[in-house]
Amino acid sequence: MPTPRTKPGAKLERARQEFDSLLAQVAEARATHVRWEASAERLRELGRRVLDPLEEQFNVYARQLIQIFDQAYAHTTLNDPERSAIADSICTLANRVLTWADDSDIKHIYNRYSGGDYESDRLRFGTQLREIGDMLLADTYPERCAWDPEAEQEQAEELHAKLVGIILTLPAGQQPALLEQANAGYVNGDALTLEMLEIELDQIRHPGAGHLRIRQLEKRIGVMGAYLDELEFATMGIQFSLMVRLNLPGTPELTEHIARHCVHLQKHALEYQLENIACDVADFRDIAKLKAWIKEKQQHTGQAAPVHH
């Protein structure tokens, strides 16, 4: 008779260990998510206080410089390459201004020099970003991309009714927070969150994994794994929004401390840009100085910002 490769119950024991491990990971991921929600609010406030006034002042100068470029474009001493450089600079500055706030005059100038339409360009760029995001999401979360909202809403309704019944049997002090979680899952049509809540309610009544059979464990492990993925993805979303808002580095080592340091670096960069663009506004009313700057710009095509000397 062949010797079994694993002892009876070994598979069950491994599943119990994985179940316990996932419970701990979910708790840690939730704590991380809560910390990042709090950090995000503090960092956005820091950005509003430290960066926004500088960005607003930069855009005041940028509007002035766009007008100067616009008036200089038809000057008889400019050749076609010089006019092309001015048009590029106008579009670069206009994009930055319009990212900050809507301005119909600047939008009209952008359209004239870009040969396109700002709203169409922005829509096309947004569509491209969404397509890239969908591809990344499909690679990382292939099962969740096959999302059926109607089926999920129906499942959420069924789970909600079941969970509310369970919650109402628990001590009164535990009920409000749990009912809030259940109602949020119902309103959002989030069946996965409700499935996770069902597991946690069972843990309140029967702690540990000793009472669960192998099939129950395998199903719950699958739910917890998917829930953990979505929770970590939501945390990444908070971090990504901060990266865009505050121009932070895309690094997995990002922390609030690093983000604060980067905000102060952005502050110094904006102050430097303000000094440059203020000089540009003063200098470029002189066509000779403008032509000299264009020549320098053409010699250093790697420069990204048209207002830097």
Give the C-alpha separation, 201 to 162, whole Å. Answer: 11
The tokens for 307 are: 């207002």
* pLDDT 10s digits, 163-214: 999 999 999 999 999 999 999 999 999 999 999 999 999 999 999 999 999 9
Q: Sorting pLDDT into bands at 50, 70 and 90, what band is 297?
A: confident
What is the percentage of the chain residues whose pLDDT exceeds 90? 72
Residue ranges per structural domain of the chain: 10-299
Q: What is the pLDDT of residue 99?
A: 87
Residue 50 to residues 7, 31, 154, 262, 265: CA-CA distances in angstroms? 63, 28, 47, 12, 11
The tokens for 253 are: 């080592």
Kindly report the pTM of this predicted structure.
0.75
Residue 222 to residues 15, 31, 178: CA-CA distances in angstroms? 11, 21, 22
In degrees and rounded to multiples of 5, residue 96 shows phi and psi of -65, -45
> Contact at 8 Å (CB) between 225 and 12?
no
Report the mean per-residue pLDDT for the chain.
Answer: 88
Q: What is the pLDDT of residue 8?
A: 57
* pLDDT 10s digits, 203-212: 999 999 999 9
